[in-house]
Amino acid sequence: MLVDLSITAFLEKTAAGSATPGGGSVAALTAACAAGLAEMVANLTIGKAGYRSSEADMKSLAEQSRHLRDELVRNIDRDSEAYGEVLAAFKLPKETEKQKQKRNQAIQRAFMRATSVPLKVAKDALQVLILAGTAAEKGNKNTVTDAAVAALIAKSALLSAVYNVKVNLNAIRDEGFLKDVLFQVAALEKEALEKEKEILSTVDKSLCSAAGAI
């Protein structure tokens, strides 16, 4: 499994001439790293003097971040597995009309699955982005730049996952499925960009305040 590889081995495998792990798996890993950073900020805030009012929020943030991190890690392999299903579908026999029909149906199912995995990654990355905002606003001020990094890479992971969704949609013929997914994708992109701008404004204000106190 990809998740059992060392960082170096994962990067080597990514850089190799095989199709997996690809952008989808890397997007999931990136979002998981963002979740880990948000969780770190929460844990460095819990129990600290001066942050009693944020205690409950940080405990909730840590729990939510851990759950998202675990789910995103699982999607590192799920994305590669979904791509494998697409390749397997294309290898099905197509000698007879019945075989062609069965093959086409399998291809459609495989592409829908290959779409659903990065779509879930994008949705989870948005939740991580939102948590990073809470971390930046209410977390330990000494870790505000860690919250900023979490926000930036969560947004990048979301947009990366969205591109993987879009490329798979090109092969799908179900108009209802296409319309629904495109609607979801547009909403995710819009909210992510707006949220990132809001978070970075909070971070910049915090950094300016810190600089002014020196």
Q: Give the tens place of pLDDT for each residue, 117-126.
A: 999 999 999 9
C-alpha angle 191-193-194 in degrees, rounded to nearest 5: 65
Q: Give the tens place of pLDDT for each residue, 164-185.
A: 999 999 999 999 999 999 999 9
Measured distance CA(32)–CA(68) in Å, rounded: 7
Measured distance CA(84)–CA(120) in Å, rounded: 18
Q: Is 46 left (phi over 0), alpha (psi -120 to 50) or beta?
A: beta
The dihedral built from the CA positions of residue 94, 100, 106 and 111, taken in this order, carries a sign that is positive
Q: Give the tens place of pLDDT for each residue, 29-70.
A: 999 999 999 999 999 999 999 999 999 999 999 999 999 999
Q: Tokens representing 115?
A: 């779409």
Decide if 106 contacts 92 (C-beta within 8 A). Answer: yes
**Any idea which fold 19-207 has?**
Four Helix Bundle (Hemerythrin (Met), subunit A) (1.20.120)
Please say if the pLDDT value at position 214 is more than 80. Answer: no
pLDDT level of residue 212 (50, 70, 90 thresholds): low
